[in-house]
Structures are given as C-alpha cells and as structure tokens.
A and B are shown apart, each in its own frame.
Chain A
Amino acid sequence: MKVTAQPSADTLTLLLDGELDASSAIVLDTELAKPDILNYRKVLIDCAKLSYISSAGLGVFISHLQRFQDANVKLVFFNMQEKVFNVFEILGLDALMTIVPSAAEAEAA
C-alpha cells in the first residue's frame, strides 16, 4: 500500500495504491490525522489503484468522517473499482460519503 499526497491550492488529493488492510490502514490514518489537512476545502481520494479494502480500511475513513464534516472539509472518492465500491455500498457508506466516477466530477463536487 502506497499513499501519495498531491496538494494544490485548496485541494489535497491522496492517491491510494495497493490493498488497504489492517497493516496499511495505519499509513493512511497517519496521513488523514495530520491537523493541517483540515485547512483544505476538499480532500479527494483517488481509488484507481486501490484493489482491496478491508473493514480496518473502512474504519479509517469512518473514524475521520465526523472530524471532516465538523471542519467543513469535503471528502470525495473517485475512480473507484467496482469491487471496492461494492464494499462501500454494502456497508451503506455510499449514502454517507461522496463517491463519484471521475476526477473531473470530483473537482466539481
């Protein structure tokens, strides 16, 4: 699992590459827990190369969800593979989080 951060003016894009399981969840959690992440207006998660997400991986997003909402930072997922999207959907997270097909829509969201 590799997490690459691409900051721009008011948007932070995080590229996830690999399987997000219990061990790699720690890497992502450190990234999301940084205090200055709340200075962005939007945090975009590029899931194009995310091949698998475990419940521990979902837990990382869930645990930061409230904090992002409170700080008015928008969390947007895009380029999600169908298999990964299924996992979000079954848990009911698709109704709670913004998941869009492409980068362009993510920018617009």
Chain B
Amino acid sequence: MPLTALSWLLLLLSALSHSGAGPWLGGSWPQWTTQLAQGAFVLGAFLYYRYQPSPLQGQAFIRLLRRLLTGPGLLALGCIGLHLLERLLSQDSGLNSNSILFTSIYTLNLGLFVIFLARTNYAWRALVLFRSSARLQREWTIFEVLLGATLLFRLVGVNPPNYLAIPIVVLLGLYGIYLSGHQKWVAYLSQREKWRAVLLQAGLLFSVLVFVQYFRVTQVDPQLIAPQPQHAFLLLTAFFSAFYALMGLLVTFFNMPIADVIEQRRNEILRLQRLTQIIQRGQTTAEVYHILLESAVQTVQADAAWLDLDPSHAGIDAADATQYYNLPPALADAMRTRLQGHDLPEGEFITNDLNARVGFEGTSQHYRSLLQLPLRGLHFNYGMLYLLKLEPHTFDREDLSILQTFTSQAVLSIENLELVRTSLANQRTQEELKIASQVQDSLIPKNLPTDNWFEISSHSLAAKEVGGDFYDFLHLPGRRLAVIIGDVSGKGVTAAFHMAQMKGIFHSLMQENPLAKNERDKFPVPSRFMAQANTALTHCLEKSSFITSSLYIIDYEQGGFVFARAGHCHTLYYHALREEVFYFESQGLGLGIIRNESYEKHIKNQFYDYSPGDVMVIYTDGIVEARGGDGTDEYGEDRLKLRLEESYFQEAEDIKNFILDDLNGFTHGHPIHDDQTLLVIKFKSAQPLPLA
C-alpha cells in the first residue's frame, strides 16, 4: 500500500513536470518515469485488492454490491465534482496557471479510476467464483495473468504494432465476456433482493460510464500533457467491469419471471427439511401431522384442507384424528359423506371439477378442485390428506408428486418416532432385566462353606440375563452341611422367580423343629424335604412347569451323607478306595409333576459313607445337554465321567476348571441354550493334619 501511494505521488510529480510547474521540478522528466510510475501504481492497486479477504461474505450479495457502489461508486461522483470544479476555475483565471491544477486533478482522477477498477474487478471475481469449479478458478487465474502481461508490455515499453495488439485486446475482451457469463449468484437472490441488485448494478454501470466519459473528454483536451490513460490493461478491466455489471443486470432482470418458481422450489426443500428435522428435535406425532398439513397447503397454495387420520395406527388420540385448515368441520363432513358414498379409488387422485364429479353432480360446490392423497406406511395407511382450491382445474400431477414426497417424509417421521419410543421401552426393559440379574446374582452364594474336611468349587452361568438354576448351602448343627441344587423348567424371568421361591423354601424348611423328640428328626431328611417342597409348590407353579432338585445332607463327623434326587441329574461320584467313577442310580420324581400326597411314594433317600479323596460332581442338565459339534451333539454323561476319571486327584477348583475347559472347547461357537451349574465337592481326610 505505501508503495502504491508512493508511485502515485511519483506519477503526480512526473505529470506536473510536463505542466506549468515544470520549471520548479527541474524541467520535464523523461517519459519513462511517468510510464513506470503509472504501471507501478496500477500494479500496486490491483495486487493490494487481490490479496484482500474476499469481499463476499456468505451469500450477502446485496451488501457486496452496495459497498461497491457507496465506496468506489462515490469516487466517480467525486471525479465529476473535481472535473466541474476545475472547469469553473479555468473559466475564472488564465490558462497557464490552471494547467497545474488540471494535471493534478487529472492524475487524482486516474488514481481514483484505478482503485475503482481494482475493487470492482475483485468484487466480480468473488461473484464469478461463487460456488465455482476448480476449472473456472484456473480460468480466472489465466485471465489475471494475461491482463498482467498486457500491463507489463506497456511497462517495459514494448509497443506491438496495431495489427497484433488489436486482435490480442479483442481476444482478451472476448475472454472477459466469457467470464461474465458466470452469474450463478443471481439464482440465490430473493425477489426483493433482485430489484435491489438491478438498481445497484445499474448504479455501478453508470459509475464506469462516468469515468470513461471523463477520460474520453479529457483525452481530447489540448491541455492534457501527460500521462496517457489509454492503456490496454485499463481498457480491458474497465470493459470487463462494465460488461460484468451489465450481464449481471440483464441476468437478474430476466431471471425475475422464473424467480418465483425457483423460490417456490427452495421453499419446498426447506419445508421438507423442516419435516425431517422434527424427528431429531423429538417432537410429537401430532406436531408432525400439523406441519404436514401446513406445508402441503403452502406448497400447492390450497385454499382449504383437512387431514383424516386413523387413530388405530396414527399414534394419536381419537380427538385429534382430524385436522382442518381454513375449513369448517361441517363442510368437511358433508364432503366426506359424499366422497364415501361413491366408489372412489383408494389411493391418490385429483378431481378438477367437483361439480361434475360423480356424487357431486349438480351441487354447486364452493370449492371446485380436490386433491386426495393417502399417508402410506409400510403396512397400513395412516390417514388421508384432502386439499381444496376454489378454482377448477388447478391441481396437476406435479402437485401430487411433490405432496407424495411430503406425505412419505411425514410417515417416515412418524414411524421413526415410533421406533424411538419402542427402543426406549426396550432399553427400560433391558435395564430392569439387568437389575433382575443383579438381584438373582445376590441369591447365589458367594462365600462357599470352607472347612478342612472338604473343598467346594462352584460355577454358574445363565443362558439369559436371569436363569432357573440354583444351588445353596446351609450349615446345620452337629457338623452337618446341607447342599441343594435345582433347575426350574424353562428359562428367563419365570424360571428366575421360581428359583428364588425354591431358595426360600429351602431356607424355611431347613429350620430346626423344636418339637422333635430326638436329634435326628430336628431337620427334615431329604425325601421329607422334597415332599414338603412339592406341596409348597403345588399352588404357585404353572401346570406345565416343574422343578428338578437334589438335596444332600453331609455329616462330616460321621463321614457320610444322605441325599434324595427329585428328577435331577444323576450325581457323578469318584470312589477313592475302589478307584472308580460312577453315577448314583436312584429313583425320584421331579417336583410339581404330581401335585398331591402321593408324591412322597416317588422319592427315596439314599445313604452313603464317603472316604477321604472321594469326589462328588453335582450339575444341571445345561452341562450334559450343552450342544457342540454340528449343533446336535450333546456333551453327555459319558464325557463328563471320563473327565472326572482324568482329574479326580486334583483339587476341587482344578477339577471344576478342567471340566469347564473341556466343556467350553466342546461348545465353542455355539450359543448357550440352557443355564449351566457345576459344583465339585472333594472330601478330605477326616482329621485335620497336625501342625508340623
């Protein structure tokens, strides 16, 4: 910028040196100083505006034009003012004295003109390149380079002969015309803005013409000594500035008739966007319908409308099932009755003269055109939209297709809202199941009984959040331990409830009976327990449900245990003295199968003495019925038995892990389809080892 100012000053001085002020400036300066100063000034001014931030902010086209007119445009006014002032002064005084003034004003005007051109050019650049392709940007750069070249030619004093210079200038002019064709921004103006744009561009055009006229007049002025503004660069940029303004003006002007249509299309898009955004803002279905009705009416400029919704699908109250726009409900009722009275197509249709329509003949309807459009969902129709116009023949196929976009978007929004609601409900259920799972987890004993007489290791895994497997321990007086395992038929929440119930039954039945005469009868023996449990379950278990269970009472003072099996899986046992693994074969019916007193006949106690080193494996059918292989193979009792034969000598925890590793290897890649529970009890020597 300072360089530009400096070069302008140089230009002024050099110009003055040719005028009356010559003697004071040491005579006439050589011609090249003027040329150089002028060239440098033009280059400086253009480069300065080139690297300014784009004058176009967003889509504020009008602001850009206004600033251009009130800034450089006013310069033109100033230019005329100076010119007139100079003329007045020259009339008053002699010629000689005002040659200095004339030259000064001329040079000043030249400066203003250059600044005006630079600003206009770069404002036009912003408009030409608005939403442009990379190709157009390249083309613009070429234009700039070519213009710069003409400036340079002049600067270095190369003056091509006219037969070469004129075609070059003409070609560049044509290039400028080509670039002037890029008036994309006009399409983004609203109707009101367009009028303002036309006026502003006319003003700019006027400014350019004022400048040009001024220079044309002064050029022939005999007083003009220097410098020559007739310069290919300035000529071209002035031509481009003027031509772009003219093109813009014409495009804007002739764009006006179609502006309506463009604006309408834009509004349609905006309404559609609004409808789409509703879902994101979490609005209600009623609001969606309301916006649909409103948008539809505005889009086709209907005079009245109503929307009939099916309350069973539309997700709204019956009271809101009909929405009216500018229509008395009674009139809508009358029309609906007439429409329904005749066999009309189910889908969309247009009636362009209601008075001639079947069912309406002879009636002179207030509204003449009717458009009917269903709100089609994936599985059913949500309702029907009716639009009315006073004039006949006003709806067309295109209206219908636009409205179809609207209705399908509305239906989509409704269905999305429904989805959101369902997924929220699902999420709540999931949360509740998680809580149920936590509650159930607390029912499973975390602290296994420990003593130096035995080791216990346990594992349990539910197929779903909650399961129907259970096990529990209870210390009884006299160094006895009760162990229970069970499996409720079925899975999930129902099974989980019965599992909790069974745990309660276990703890309440295993209470000391104060009336018992001898020590032995204080606690129920396993078979008695099963019979009592069966009775307790009679009224609360559904008919098709049953529970299998085994109860073991281990007396580790005596070194023996008694158990009863109520339909539960056979107990796997390793006998240390005989070095043999076997299943206990005992009879026993599941709980809840016979719901009367006769149940007790179907359950037996079995007594057994254990020796140190014996291992007892208790499990549910989720273990032996686990699927593997091709999906039909079951893990099976035999495989379980083999695993115990291979691992009986290990600690209880290791035996359990050994079996589980084998099981997981077997079921790898298959989903767990039943709850799994596994308990391993290993009996140890009857007396604790004395401390060494």
Contacts and interface: CB of A to CB of B under 8 A. Distances in A.
A41 to B, nearest CB: 23
Interface in B44-97: none
Nearest to B585: A89
Contact of A92 (B567, B595, B634): B567
A29 B590 CA distance: 20
B489 interface: yes
Contacts of B169: none
Contact of A58 (B487, B489, B566, B602): B489
Contact of B602 (A52, A63, A65, A95): A95
B588 interface: yes
Interface string B567-589: 11110000000000000000111
Contacts of A58: 489, 546
A91 B486 CA distance: 12
A102 interface: no
Contacts of A90: 548, 567-570
Contacts of B589: 91-93, 95-96
Contact of B489 (A29, A55, A65, A96): A55
Contact of A91 (B543, B544, B567, B632): B567
B593 A93 contact: yes
A71 interface: no
A31 B139 CA distance: 83
Contact of B546 (A22, A51, A62): A62
A79 B469 CA distance: 31
A65 B593 CA distance: 9
A69 B587 CA distance: 22
A66 B690 CA distance: 59
A50 to B, nearest CB: 13
B594 A96 contact: yes
A63 B592 CA distance: 10
Interface in B234-257: none
Among A63, A91, A93, chain B packs the most CB atoms within 10 A around the CB of A91
B569 A92 contact: no
A93 B593 CA distance: 9
A45 B443 CA distance: 40
Contacts of B590: 91-93
A96 B587 contact: no
B490 A55 contact: yes
A7 interface: no
Nearest to B592: A62
A60 B567 CA distance: 16
B548 to A, nearest CB: 6
Contact of B544 (A51, A56, A83, A93): A56
A66 B634 CA distance: 32
A36 B569 CA distance: 36
Contacts of A96: 589, 593-594, 602
Interface of A is mostly: helix
B545 interface: yes
A96 B592 CA distance: 13
A91 B602 contact: no
A101 interface: no
Given A55-B489, A62-B593, A95 B587 contact: yes
Nearest to B594: A96
A62 B567 contact: no
A92 B588 contact: yes
Nearest to A25: B544
Contacts of A93: 567, 589-590, 593
Given A96-B593, A96-B594, A63 B569 contact: no
Contacts of A83: 634
Contacts of B491: 22
Interface in A37-62: 51-52, 55-56, 58-60, 62
B545 A59 contact: yes
Contacts of A63: 543-544
Contacts of B489: 55-56, 58-59
Interface in B442-498: 487, 489-491
Nearest to B568: A90
Contacts of B570: 90
Contacts of B566: 92
Nearest to A62: B593
Contacts of A55: 487, 489-490, 546, 621
Contacts of B594: 96
A98 to B, nearest CB: 15
A92 B490 contact: no
A8 to B, nearest CB: 28
B586 to A, nearest CB: 10
Contacts of A22: 490-491
Contacts of B587: 92, 95
B593 A92 contact: yes
Contacts of B543: 62-63
A22 to B, nearest CB: 7
Contacts of B548: 90-91
Nearest to B601: A95
Interface in A63-96: 63, 65-66, 83, 90-93, 95-96
B418 to A, nearest CB: 28
Interface in A1-42: 22, 25, 29
Interface string B407-442: 000000000000000000000000000000000000
Given A62-B544, A63-B543, A91 B490 contact: no
Contacts of B568: 90
B29 to A, nearest CB: 106
A96 B268 CA distance: 75
Contacts of B546: 55, 58-59, 62, 91
Nearest to B566: A92
Contacts of A51: 632
A22 B468 CA distance: 15
21 contacts: A22-B491, A25-B544, A29-B544, A51-B632, A52-B632, A55-B487, A55-B490, A55-B546, A56-B489, A56-B490, A62-B543, A62-B546, A62-B592, A62-B593, A83-B634, A91-B567, A91-B589, A92-B590, A93-B590, A93-B593, A96-B594
Q: Which 10 A-B pairs have the closest CB atoms?
A: A92-B589, A59-B544, A55-B489, A63-B544, A91-B567, A63-B543, A91-B590, A92-B567, A62-B593, A92-B588
Interface of B: 487, 489-491, 543-546, 548, 566-570, 587-590, 592-595, 602, 621, 632, 634
